[in-house]
Structures are given as C-alpha cells and as structure tokens.
Amino acid sequence: MDIDKRTRQLSARLAYIRDIFGPRENASSALLTHRLEEFLNRAPELGVLDLRREVDRLEELFALLEGKLEDELTPMDRVRIVRHPQRITLKDILENVYDNYAEIGGQDEWSVDPGMLIARATIARRMGRKTVHQPVMVIGQEKGHGQEFRNGGSIKPFGNANALYYMRVAETENIPIHTYVFTPGAYPIEDYPGAAQQIARNLFQMAGLKVPVVSVISEGGSGGAEAIALADKRLMLSHGYYSVISPEGAAAIEAGLKKKADRRLIERCAERLKITAKDNLALGLVDRVIQEPALGARPDNYEFFRTLRREVIRATDEVVHAAQGLGPLRALVLRHRGGVDPQDIFVRWSLSSSAREALLIRRREKFRAMSAHAFVDNRSLGTRLAVGLARGLWQVHSLLRHDIFARYKRRLSGRIEQWEAELRALGLGMGSLLGRENGGACHGVPPEALSRLTTLSCPEEGVCRVEDRWVYVSPKSREDRTVTCPNAATHGCQDLWAPDLYGEFAGVCAHCGHHFPMEYQWYLYNVFDFAHAYEFNAELEAGNPLGYEGFDLKLAEAKRATGLGSSCITFETRMEGVAVVVAVLVAPFRGGTVGAAEGEKLIRAIERARIKRLPFFMYSHGTAGIRIQEGTCGVIQMPRVTMAVRRYIDSGGLYLVIYDTNSYAGPVASFLGCSPYQFAVRSSNIGFAGPGVIRQTTGLEVPPGYHRAFLALSRGHIQGIWDRRDLKKNLHQALLTMGGRNLYYR
Amino acid sequence: MRIMAACARLGHEFICVYTGPDAASGHVRMAAELAGAGCLARIRSYQDPSELFAVADALGADAVHPGYGFFAEDFRFARRVRLRDRPLTFIGPSWNVIRDLGDKINTKRIARSLGVPTIPGSDRPIFDEMEAAELARTIFAFQLEQGIAEGCVLVKASAGGGGMGIEEVYDLDAFRSAYRRVRNYARRNLSDEGVLIEQRVFDFNHLEVQIAAERGGKNAVHFGTRNCSVQSLGRQKRIEAAPGFDPGSIDYAFDAASVLADITRHSVNMALAVGYDNVGTWEWIVTPRGEPFLMEVNTRIQVENGVSAAISRINGADGVNLIAEQIRLGLGEPLGYTQDDISFHGAAIEYRILAEDPQNRFTPGLGRITRFSWRAEPWLSVSTQVPTVLSGEPYDIPMDFDPNLALAIIRGDDLPQARARGEAFLDGLDLAGVDASGGPLCTNVAFLRARTQTLLRF
C-alpha cells in the first residue's frame, strides 16, 4: 500500500483516539503522538525501505497501544465512541451485512423523519449450491456520520409512527424484523401524536407483533430506544451503551438543575448507571454481546460486519427455532455451532400460524423474567407459596365460572328471554283484541303514586342530602390561611380559604375550576374506598439493583417519609359494588418514578385482574418517569409492563388510566400511554419531557401550558378530562360502558 | 342602620364597614353620629371575607353581623367565622343549620320527613328519564284530581338557580323534550345532570312566618305571619303586610285562620326539629284553594322584619325590635319569654320605595334625588339612608347596589285600615329627582299605589 495513505490512516487513528479519550491525560496517546510526529519529521530523509519498516513498526505500536487503551476504556469513553461521527451507522450495516437492500419510506432528507431509516433487505443463504434470499425488514435510527438533517438519530413521533407502520407491514408479509438502535433518545416534542404517545403505541403493538424481532443496540437512549427495541432477541454491540438517561442528564440531576455538572461528575454518573454492554448482559437485559474491534467499530472494519452478520442470522434462527422448532439435525448444529457458519444451514424464517402464538408466549416469558432480582422481596416463603397456590386456584375458578359455566348460562338465559318475550307478545295481542284502551296520558295513575308526590321519597337515603362528601380530608384544610388561585388574574377568582378549598371543595377553585394538587390519600379514600380495600404485594419494595452510590440512603429516606416500600400501591377494592384492581403511582415517593419493584407490582396487579376477570384502573398521582438510579433495570419496565397490559387488553379486560398533577416520560410513553381509555384530572400535565429538558435537548422554547391536559386532549392522547369531584361517578360510568367483553360482571 | 340602632340600644360597640361609593350614604353618617369616626372602617369590597376579618382582628371585634345580603345565607362564611384560628361569634344560625336549610331540595326533604306540606313533586334530583316521565304523569294526574284544568309541570336543574335551566311544561308530550333540554343544559353548564320535577302553582299568596330561636335550638317562638305577595319581576318583594291574612276583617275563599295556625305550627315544629338557633323566616305559598306549601327557609333576618315587629308585643310591651332580638340570641342569651308571652295587635304594611322603573322590567334607576319628604303621622315610620330628607341637599344614587331609597311602615287596627292609610301616605309623598338623561327620576311609588288596591284581594 502507498506509504502516504498509510500514514494518513495512522493520523486519523490518532485523532480518533484523542477524540475518544478527550482531554484526559493519557500516556499511550501521548506516546503515539510523539512517535508519529517524530516519524513525520524524519520521513523526508528516509529511503523507501526505511519508510516502510518505520510505518510497519508504527502500525504495530498503534495496534498494541489501541489494545491497551481498550482495556482502559471507561463507560464515558464508550459513550464518546458511540457518539463519534466515525461510528458505524445503519447505512454501513445495510451495505455490509445485508446482501441487498432498498430504502423505503423516504430517501435521505426527503423523509417523514430522516433519522428513522426503514429498508427492505435480503440475506442470502446457501443451501448446497442453491442460494436462497431471505427478506428482512430493517428498521433503525440513522445517525449518518454527522449529517445535520438526521438529527443525530433523535426520532420525532412521526418517525416512530412510520417505523410502527412498517412493522405491521412486516407482520402482514410474515418476514422477520431487524431493528438497529442508534439513538440518544426520542425527540421530546408534543405533536400529533406526541412523543410519549407514539412510543407507547409502538410498545403496545410490538408486544403483540407476530414475527421474529431481533434488535441490535449500539446507542440505546431510554424511551427512544424502547420504541423499536422490544424484541425476541436483544443483541448489543460491545462498545455500545444502553441507558435510562444520558450520563450528562444524570449528572445534571445529581448536581441540581441550576448548576452545570462538571466532567468528573458526568464520568462518575456514567459508571454508576451501568450502561455498558457487559453490565447490561450481567443484568440479563440483553441476550448477547457482539464483540467489536478495539476502540469500537468503524465503517472500514469489514471483519466486524461479518461477525455482525453471523450474529443476527444466528439470533433470528434461534428465535424461529424456539417458536416452531427445526429438524433435529439442524437443531443440534445450531446448539453446538462448532465452527459452522450459520448461513450455511438453511432456516425458513416465515412462521406458521401456531408458531406465531408460541413466539408471543416466548416473548412474554422472556420479558417477564427480566429484572427479577432488581427489587426487594420481603415476603416470607409461606406467603409466596400461598400466592402461587391462590393464583392457580383462581385460574381454575375463572376457567370454570367464566369460560364454561357463564357460556351455558348465557345460552340458557337467552332462550328464556325469547320465550318470555313471546308470551308477552301473546298477552299484548289478546289485550288489544279485547279492545282495551291503552292511551290517555293521565289516566290509570294509582293513588299511592299520587301520595308519593308529597311524601319523602327514598327515606333510606336519609333526610339530609347535604353532608360532608369526603371520607378523607386533607391535612392542609386545617390551616387558617387563604390561597390565591393561579387564574385569579385572568378569571377574577377570589382568594380561597384553605379549610374550604382543601376540605369541602376538594382542592378545586370554586370560581374557575382550577384543581390544586391533592395528596394521593385523598384519592385512595374518597375515590377508591381504600379503607375497605385489600392491598397486596406491599412487601415488594424498591431496591438499589445497580448499587448506585448514595442511593440507598435516599431510598431509605423516601420509605421513611412516606411509609411506603415503593411508589406503587396495588389493591383490590369495590366501586359501586364492582370489584376492581387499582394501581396507584404515588408522587411523594421519589417523584412517582417507576423502577423494578413498581414494574413487578404493576405486572402482578394486571395479572390478578386478568385471571379474576376484573377491571384494572391505573391512577397516576404523578410520575417523573423511570427511576434513573435503577438504570436499565428501570427502562426495561416499559416493555415489561406494556406486555402485561397488552395481554390483559387482548383477553378482554378494561384498562383505564387516570392522570393527575404531572405525568411525564417513561411510564406515559409505555404502559400508561398505551391504554385505550386515558383520562386526566383537570389542571394536570401530561407529556414526554418537561419544558426544561426540551430546551436543553432541542433548543426549542415551548409555549406555556405545552403539556396541559386540554392540549393532550386535542392531540388525541387522552380521551377526556374529569373533574376530581366527579371521579368516582365517572369511573362507575366507565365500568358500565367501557372495556372488553371478558369482565366478570358483564 | 337598624342593626346599628339595635346595637346602640343593647349597649354594644360596633364597627361599620363601608366601601368607596357608600362613603356619603346615610348609614355611614349615622354610624359616625352614634359611635364616632373610630368605628368606621373602609374596605375595598363587601364580598371579600379576608378583608373583613383583617378589619375585625385589627379592631378587636368579637362578633360579626352579616347584614341582609352577601354573607347572611352563606354557610361557608359562617363556618369560617366560627372555625378560624381566632373565632368570632356569627350573629345568625349555626353554619350547619344554614347549610342544611340553604339547599331547597334538602329543605324539602327535611320538611317531608316532618310531615310539613311541600309542593308536589320530586324531593331529590332525578337522573332517569323514565322516572322523570312517570313523575310528570303523576303530577298532571294530581292536578286533574285537584280540579286544576290546565296543569303545569316545572322542570328545573337541581343545581341551578336564578331562573336559569327552568322550563314550564303544559302537557306530557312536551315533557320529554323539555326534560332533555334542561338535563343537557345542566350537564353542560352545571356538570350535574340532576333534574327536579314539580307542580307549578299559579296565583299563590306568598306568606312568611317569622321565627326566633335561642342558641342550642331548644326554644323557638314565632312572631306572626306576613304577606309578601307583591313582588317585582325578579321575585323581589315590594310590599309586605302583617299579619298574612286577616280573617277578622276580610273574607277569604278558604279558612284563613286555620291556614295561619297550620303554617305557624309547622314552622315552629320544623325549627325545633332542625335545631334552628337564631332569627329566620319560613316562606310558604298558599294556593287559592287554601293549601299551604313550604317553599324555602331564609336563615337570616330580612329587611321586612319591621312589619312583623310592628304588630307584635312581648308581655304586652310594644316596640319589639327583631334585630336586637337577633343580636341578643346570636350572642347566646336565652329567649326569656315563650310563645304565650307574645301577642299580636293590629296590622302593618311596609312599602319599599326604590328608584326603579316598573314599566321597564324594574330596571334600576340612576340619578339624583332633589326632593324627598312626607307628612309625619303617628302611624307612620320611615327609615331612609337618603340624606335629602334631613338636609335637603341632593343625593346621588350609588351605582353598585340596589337603589333602595326608603322603607315605610304603616300601622293600622286591621288590614283595611292600614291599607287606606298606606294609600294616603303614598299620595302625600313628595319624592322627585332627575335621572342621568335629565328627565324625571323613575320611582315605584305609582306601582306601589296601584298594587295596594289589589294587595288583599285573594
């Protein structure tokens, strides 16, 4: 090779190393810089043979030191690798891993969202001398080596919508989907649809997608990643990161939003968040790690692309195998895979209809088992056994009562109704034959009806209708002070006396209807009748799965202050005589954030509702998102709970979500946002990221009231806005009118 | 003014609050005369409780008299007076009594539970269309049975008030659509679908029973009845006469004496049953056939209390002052007399003289009063805030409140005599002024004069 070209390459490699290790003092890179400079100074004097020898030696030195540096990589260095413009992109993968591809749904900047790249690709496999081209739907974020219009792989809601559409196409065509995650996070705008809304839709649909999905994560930034990463097999590149929040974001939160976080804090946060491939593999959140060359793969590492190709083929094969089985010999080869290139054995990737169901069950079980040890389980062995036993008994009970008995009962009562109607028709006909007068509005009123006009009706209701409506009265109502309504300037509201406002008015301004925030206990007791409810799984408590430094203390403090083990309370209660399962996300406990314990409790509550055929209400008293201190153990709750929800809705339940105060980020972008029945209490905010975060990440200034419930309603995110005082009435109305057919009281 | 007079009579110190537009009016002058300028406190609005409490605390008040309007029937105000960190005495019933009787539906239910007659119809909000139709059908049948040829049913939103969301229905076919209209109105504007269905009573007499009860609600007496049938369009009373009926000197189509006995008995019983503990008014309507129905309870002293006081004597002594009684009872003093000690003598008529235009939907008049005087009589007492009476100087009617000019009470031995004297008073009244456009000021004197004729013809 030309000496010039080789030296240029070496300079590029050095620049790359400097970029990755940044301003950090580094002996290796200093040595390389020195040696390269020395060489370049001496080069004009050297002869051809000397030059070649020198370059050979330099290249050896580079390889050696790169290997050494590889061992020194900190998590933050990996983040820098992933963000480097020379990092491989989806286009490179399409060029090098797949045998043929065609981009669909846009070309470069002429696309709904240039960051989202969707392509139909083929992988050629050999069967003896014959070649079989297997079609695949490839979906992923394209960062485009620094192309501005790609938006750094930050996907707007319509980009995710487009991805979802082509996932459905793949489902129709029965071809596997390969998704490649190269995103720092979703673009947090609220539009038609909003970011959270669309991610929730994606997750909900992917939870039931009946084709194999293999996902490769290079840069997995929280919600934006989850939008396409719910997969049967999740692979991860060895230099990638998968995280709940960018280390800078975590550091900003640690440092407090006003101050700017310094570099060391960012480094520390990156370490604590456990974002590397190795950590995620250890946590069981990804299935396999694909080894990259030292200091990360770049577009000219052809050997790496061959590895990647082998790995995605193998992963897809495994998914198909798990779902529908293969011939015994191929299964044996697949299991041992001693030196056999997976593309040499043929596996048909389109699934039969029975295998599609099996695939879903596998996917469900896979996600159900994740993060199983990331929370504190204080239940005794006896309780656990009892719970398991009760669950089994309920399953049998539901089967007998709802699936078998109710069906026959319905059939029988239908017959009886028919006969009864027939007999009535007979009587009516006879009546008209006899010429009975059947008109005249005021005739035929019995005398006791007349007396009813002047006597007390329904004496059992009591004489006095005016009584204190609320079982639980907020402690704020005991202060003698006045509160000014925030709308006073525009609506002319008078100041409210705190005992009136927080007592009788239930925190609602009497004039303009502004809802002041109330404690979650107010809802528990006044809406959900918590005093007579059966709370379950209170022993599942939030833990510190990553060993996040300093978090144990904060968690203990939160538990002490609220008296709760986690930010989620799940219980079974009766509303107007109908038994319902309710889950409440409690804002005072670490901002209502969701971690592994909350996810587990939610899933258990949903399963309970499904098995017992009960409606499931989810009341979000406020949530700030996923608990960042739990890292990816928290993020994984998004697909986990969504899958449980999907299963519940598919089995004909009623899943209703109520938002209050401020609900943002992960939960809204998954299990809350995917409900077909979402309602907000007035004066609440719903969205993906708060105005501050939007400003930081996108530079956009959002108008005031950007996340108001009324705007969420107009965006189609929620289905209605309810007055706090009417919540109980409206929920009863929902019980009567909404939901699937498989509820016990229907 | 009468409240201040009562305070002065009982020997209590008082603070008079006033707003900017009222600074020149009579009650402020009178307060200054009675107790000096130190008792005056200027506030921005009569409707802001916080401001009132600030004044009360600053000047060290012990009790609050809510007057006739704004706060008198607001149980939240009464509750706040009692439950704030520095509690005051509320001159009026306990807040929970105000709350229970402040709601018409609730009053109706309490009344029915005690066997007190109420207007035929529902006593709770109806949410079901079938039930509503059934009720309406029964009410029509009821009216037919009573011999009312043209039955009428009132459909109104249970959470509504002030005439919105009320419809009259004359036949059952129209009922359904009216019901839906009212229900949809209620759902949209009041976010409460409840609808009330009642008989509409035409041509009724509006009678009131004046009740007084001591704190604790153990003892209650009544101060007779009064007839407030002459009202303006917005149900504002214009002429009140006491007693309500005068069976001794006027012939009625029904047994008026027993009606009066019934309604006073029912009112006192109900006051005892709910534990009523101050001065209040039970409002009744009496149909042309002589059936009394309880309409509502006013849990406050009313402007027309003077007319009841004028005909009552306690232990034979004249000069009953109901406002003084109210303050006395409100401060927790016992009643000190029983029903047997109260006797009634003669009759009285009260006129409310207002600057308003009876020809034009009783629109309040604005302008300046230049002349206001009357001939003094032994049977006449007039109270007014208009300074013209005394000084002769012109007075601008304040824009912000009811253009009340004067209250005149005329006494007589019986109602016909009081009526004749009333006509004489109105004829001799010299009231003139100019309105904003320079024309003569509109007052309701002619209206009062005309209605005095028909007042007692039932």
Q: Cβ separation of B142 and A450 shorter than 8 Å?
A: yes
Q: How confident is the model at residue A257 (pLDDT cuts 50, 70, 90)?
A: low
- End position of a domain, from candidates A312, A347, A369: A369
Q: Residue A442: closest CA among chain B residues belongs to which residue?
A: B141
* A681 CA: distance to closest CA in chain B (Å): 15
* A492 CA: distance to closest CA in chain B (Å): 12
Q: Cβ separation of B80 and A497 shorter than 8 Å?
A: yes
The reply to whether A489 and A552 lie within a common domain is: no
* DSSP collapsed to 3 states, chain B: CHHHHHHHHHCCCCCEEECHHHCCCHHHHHHHHHHCHHHEEECCCCCCHHHHHHHHHHHCCCEECCCCCCCCCCHHHHHHHHHCCCCCEECCCCHHHHHHHHCHHHHHHHHHHCCCCECCECCCCECCHHHHHHHHHHHHHHHHHCCCCCCCEEEEECCCCCCCCEEEECCHHHHHHHHHHHHHHHHHHHCCCCEEEEECCCCCEEEEEEEEECCCCCCEEEEEEEEEEEECCCCCEEEEEECCCCCCCCCCCCCHHHHHHHHHHHHHHHHHHHCCCCEEEEEEEECCCCCEEEEEEECCCCCCHHHHHHHEEECCECCCCHHHHHHHHHCCCCCCCCHHHEEECCEEEEEEEECEEHHHCCEECCEEEEEEECCCCCCEEEEECCCHHHHCCCEECCCCCCCEEEEEEEEECCHHHHHHHHHHHHHHCEEEEEECCCCECCCCHHHHHHHHHHCCCC
The reply to whether A507 and A559 lie within a common domain is: no
A348 lies in a domain? Answer: yes
Residue A565's CATH number: 3.90.226.10
- Per-residue pLDDT, averaged over A462-467, amounts to 70
Quick check: B358 contacting A, CB < 8 Å? no
Round to whole Å and give the CA distance between A250 and A427.
Answer: 77
Nearest to A453 among B105, B124, B139 (CB): B139
The reply to whether A362 and A481 lie within a common domain is: no
Would residue B296 show up in a list of annotated catalytic residues for this protein?
Answer: yes
Round to whole Å and give the CA distance between A114 and A141.
Answer: 9
Round to whole Å and give the CA distance between A108 and A93.
Answer: 16
- Per-residue pLDDT, averaged over A251-256, amounts to 79
* B211 CA: distance to closest CA in chain A (Å): 21
Chain B partners of A466 at a C-beta cutoff of 8 Å?
99-100, 102-103, 106
Q: Which residue has the higher pLDDT, A11 or A466?
A: A11
- Per-residue pLDDT, averaged over B125-145, amounts to 87
Residue B40's nearest CA partner among B23, B65, B60, B63 is B23
Q: Residue B115: closest CA among chain A residues belongs to which residue?
A: A455
Query: Is residue A438 over pLDDT 50?
Result: no
Query: Is residue A344 over pLDDT 80?
Result: no
* B208 CA: distance to closest CA in chain A (Å): 21
Q: Cβ separation of A441 and B171 shorter than 8 Å?
A: yes
- Per-residue pLDDT, averaged over B20-34, amounts to 75
pLDDT of residue A286: 94
The reply to whether A111 and A12 lie within a common domain is: no
The reply to whether A297 and A182 lie within a common domain is: yes
- End position of a domain, from candidates A337, A369, A401: A369
Nearest to B85 among A454, A461, A480 (CB): A480
Quick check: B200 contacting A, CB < 8 Å? no
Q: Cβ separation of A445 and B141 shorter than 8 Å?
A: yes
Nearest to B76 among A495, A500, A726 (CB): A500
Q: Residue A459: closest CA among chain B residues belongs to which residue?
A: B113
- What are B418-443's pLDDT values in tens digits? 888 988 898 888 888 888 777 777 78
Q: Cβ separation of B113 and A463 shorter than 8 Å?
A: yes
Nearest to B138 among A449, A494, A497 (CB): A449
User: What fold does the segment set B120-199 form as a domain?
Assistant: Dna Ligase; domain 1 (3.30.1490)
Quick check: B150 contacting A, CB < 8 Å? no
A447 lies in a domain? Answer: no
- What are B329-347's pLDDT values in tens digits? 998 888 888 899 999 988 9
Query: Is residue A566 over pLDDT 90?
Result: yes
The reply to whether A628 and A689 lie within a common domain is: yes
Nearest to B103 among A442, A443, A466 (CB): A466
What are the Cα distances from residue B12, in Å, to B6, B43, B63, B327? 9, 22, 10, 10
pLDDT of residue A745: 86
**Residues β-bridged to residue B296:** B283
Quick check: B299 contacting A, CB < 8 Å? no
Instruction: Give which of B137, B144, B172, B173 to mutate to test A binding, by max A Cβ within 10 Å.
Output: B137
* B381 CA: distance to closest CA in chain A (Å): 40
Instruction: Give which of A451, A458, A461, A497 to mutate to test B binding, by max B Cβ within 10 Å.
Output: A497
Chain A partners of B139 at a C-beta cutoff of 8 Å?
453
A405 lies in a domain? Answer: no
Query: Is residue B414 over pLDDT 90?
Result: no
Quick check: A329 contacting B, CB < 8 Å? no
Regarding the domain with residue range B205-454, which homologous superfamily does it belong to in the CATH classification? ATP-grasp fold, B domain (3.30.470.20)
Contacts of B2 (CB under 8 A, 6+ apart): B306, B321, B323, B383
Would you call A330 exposed, middle or buried from its count of C-beta atoms within 10 A (0-12, 13-18, 19+)? middle
- Per-residue pLDDT, averaged over A334-353, amounts to 78
Where do the CATH 3.40.50.20 domains begin and end in chain B? 2-100
Query: Is residue A440 over pLDDT 60?
Result: no
3-class secondary-structure state, position A21 = helix
Task: Locate the DSSP E strands across A70-212.
Answer: 100-104, 106-107, 110-111, 116-127, 130-141, 177-183
Where do the CATH 3.30.1490.20 domains begin and end in chain B? 120-199
- What are A656-683's pLDDT values in tens digits? 999 999 999 889 999 999 999 999 999 9
Rounded to 5 degrees, what are φ and ψ at A630? Answer: -95, 0
* A479 CA: distance to closest CA in chain B (Å): 8
Chain A partners of B106 at a C-beta cutoff of 8 Å?
464-466
Quick check: A499 contacting B, CB < 8 Å? yes
Query: Is residue B226 over pLDDT 50?
Result: yes
Q: Cβ separation of A464 and B48 shorter than 8 Å?
A: no
A407 lies in a domain? Answer: no
- What are B308-326's pLDDT values in tens digits? 888 888 888 887 888 888 9
- Per-residue pLDDT, averaged over B69-74, amounts to 78
The reply to whether A173 and A304 lie within a common domain is: yes
Q: Residue B78: closest CA among chain A residues belongs to which residue?
A: A500
Chain B partners of A730 at a C-beta cutoff of 8 Å?
none
Q: Which residue has the higher pLDDT, B369 or A630?
A: A630
pTM: 0.85
A377 lies in a domain? Answer: no
Q: Which of B51, B129, B296, B377 is flagged as catalytic?
A: B296
* B187 CA: distance to closest CA in chain A (Å): 12
The reply to whether A309 and A256 lie within a common domain is: yes
Round to whole Å and give the CA distance between B288 and B254.
Answer: 8
* DSSP collapsed to 3 states, A147-168: CHHHHHHCCCHHHHHHHHHHHH
Quick check: A48 contacting B, CB < 8 Å? no
Q: Would you tell me how many other CB atoms lie within 10 Å of the CB of residue B301?
A: 29
Query: Is residue A443 over pLDDT 60?
Result: no
- The proportion of chain A whose per-residue pLDDT surpasses 70, expressed as a percent, equals 96
Nearest to A456 among B80, B109, B139 (CB): B109
Round to whole Å and give the CA distance between A696 and A102.
Answer: 36
Q: How confident is the model at residue A439 (pLDDT cuts 50, 70, 90)?
A: very low
Query: Is residue A467 over pLDDT 60?
Result: yes
Query: Is residue B458 over pLDDT 70?
Result: no
Chain A partners of B173 at a C-beta cutoff of 8 Å?
441
Q: What CATH class is the domain B2-100?
A: alpha beta
pLDDT of residue B397: 79
The reply to whether A490 and A564 lie within a common domain is: no
Query: Is residue B159 over pLDDT 80?
Result: no
Q: How confident is the model at residue A342 (pLDDT cuts 50, 70, 90)?
A: confident
Two tokens, residue B51: 């401001």
Query: Is residue A437 over pLDDT 60?
Result: no
* A715 CA: distance to closest CA in chain B (Å): 22
Round to whole Å and give the CA distance between B101 and A377.
Answer: 55
Overall domain count for chain A = 4
The reply to whether A93 and A68 lie within a common domain is: no
Q: Residue B126: closest CA among chain A residues belongs to which residue?
A: A457
Q: Give the structural domain span for A37.
A: 3-72
Starting at the edge strand found earlier in the chain, the sheet holding B153-157 runs B166-169, B153-157, B195-199
pLDDT of residue A29: 86
Look over chain A and give the mean of its residue pLDDT values, rounded to a whole number: 89
Q: Residue A729: closest CA among chain B residues belongs to which residue?
A: B192
pLDDT of residue A581: 97
Q: Cβ separation of A455 and B50 shorter than 8 Å?
A: no
The reply to whether A92 and A224 lie within a common domain is: yes
Q: Residue A499: closest CA among chain B residues belongs to which residue?
A: B80
- The proportion of chain A whose per-residue pLDDT surpasses 90, expressed as a percent, equals 60
Interface of A with B in 424-463 (CB under 8 A): 441-443, 445, 449-450, 452-459, 461, 463
Query: Is residue A218 over pLDDT 70?
Result: yes
The reply to whether A213 and A226 lie within a common domain is: yes
Q: Would you tell me how many other CB atoms lie within 10 Å of the CB of residue A594?
A: 33
Query: Is residue A524 over pLDDT 50?
Result: yes
- What are A366-418's pLDDT values in tens digits? 999 998 888 998 889 999 999 999 999 999 999 998 888 888 888 899 999 99
Query: Is residue B394 over pLDDT 70?
Result: yes
Interface ipTM > 0.90? no
Q: Cβ separation of A464 and B109 shorter than 8 Å?
A: yes
Query: Is residue B133 over pLDDT 80?
Result: yes
Query: Is residue A641 over pLDDT 60?
Result: yes
Where do the CATH 3.30.470.20 domains begin and end in chain B? 205-454
A710 lies in a domain? Answer: yes
Query: Is residue B453 over pLDDT 80?
Result: no
Contacts of A442 (CB under 8 A, 6+ apart): B137, B140, B141, B144, B172
Instruction: Give which of B85, B110, B127, B138 to mutate to test A binding, by max A Cβ within 10 Å.
Output: B138
- What are A42-96's pLDDT values in tens digits? 888 888 888 888 889 999 999 999 999 998 889 999 999 999 999 999 999 999 9
Q: Residue B173: closest CA among chain A residues belongs to which residue?
A: A441
* B396 CA: distance to closest CA in chain A (Å): 29
Round to whole Å and give the CA distance between A39 and A33.
Answer: 10
A52 lies in a domain? Answer: yes
Query: Is residue B457 over pLDDT 60?
Result: no
Chain B partners of A450 at a C-beta cutoff of 8 Å?
138, 141-142, 145
Q: Are the C-beta atoms of residues A211 and A231 closer than 8 Å to each other? A: no
Nearest to A495 among B50, B85, B117 (CB): B50
- Per-residue pLDDT, averaged over A203-229, amounts to 93
A410 lies in a domain? Answer: no
pLDDT of residue B234: 65
Round to whole Å and give the CA distance between B203 and A563.
Answer: 65
- What are A23-36's pLDDT values in tens digits? 777 788 888 889 99
Nearest to B106 among A450, A458, A465 (CB): A465
- End position of a domain, from candidates A22, A38, A72: A72
